[in-house]
């Protein structure tokens, strides 16, 4: 399973990405690093299960490229409320 996490280098991503990778999922992080940091991804940087792409979620070309082959999508720099996020997360992880 391959998933795309936008804003994955931020605070929530720093918890979500290791969780997903720990489940054996291949994770692609799309982040413009405007506030996120590579160190938030910790020991996963450089590992086979993680691909980090620097780019803007508003860039259609980049999004199309990173979405290809992905089965799931988590969007963080957005306006979703936490309850909606967790509902989505839980249903995807079951």
Ligand X SMILES: NC(=O)c1ccc[n+]([C@@H]2O[C@H](COP(=O)([O-])OP(=O)(O)OC[C@H]3O[C@@H](n4cnc5c(N)ncnc54)[C@H](O)[C@@H]3O)[C@@H](O)[C@H]2O)c1
Of positions 34, 65, 71, 93, contacts ligand X by CB under 6 A: 34
Report CA-CA distances (Å) from 11 to 8, 21, 26, 59, 76: 8, 16, 20, 22, 10
Q: Which stretch binds ligand X (CB under 6 A): 7-15, 18-26, 42-50, 63-71?
A: 7-15
Contact between 17 and ligand X per CB under 6 A:
no
CB atoms within 10 A of CB 25: 17
Contact between 33 and ligand X per CB under 6 A:
yes
**Structure token digits, residue 40:** 């938030």
* Helix locations, 1-94, DSSP H: 11-22, 60-67, 82-93
Q: Which stretch binds ligand X (CB under 6 A): 5-13, 18-26, 42-50, 66-74?
A: 5-13
Spatial contact of 63 and 40, defined as CB atoms under 8 Å apart: no
Of positions 1, 19, 23, 35, contacts ligand X by CB under 6 A: 35
Which parts of this chain interact with ligand X (CB under 6 A)? 6-7, 9-13, 30-36, 56-58, 76-78, 82
């Amino acid at each position: 399973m391959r998933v795309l996490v936008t804003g994955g280098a931020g605070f929530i991503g720093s918890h979500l990405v290791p969780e997903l990778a720990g489940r054996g999922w291949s994770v692609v992080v799309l982040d413009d690093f405007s506030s996120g940091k590579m160190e938030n991804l910790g020991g996963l940087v450089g590992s086979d299960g993680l691909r980090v792409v620097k780019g803007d979620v508003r860039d259609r070309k980049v999004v199309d490229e990173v979405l290809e082959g992905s089965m799931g999508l988590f969007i963080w720099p957005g306006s979703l409320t936490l309850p909606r996020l967790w509902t989505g997360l839980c249903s995807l992880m079951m």
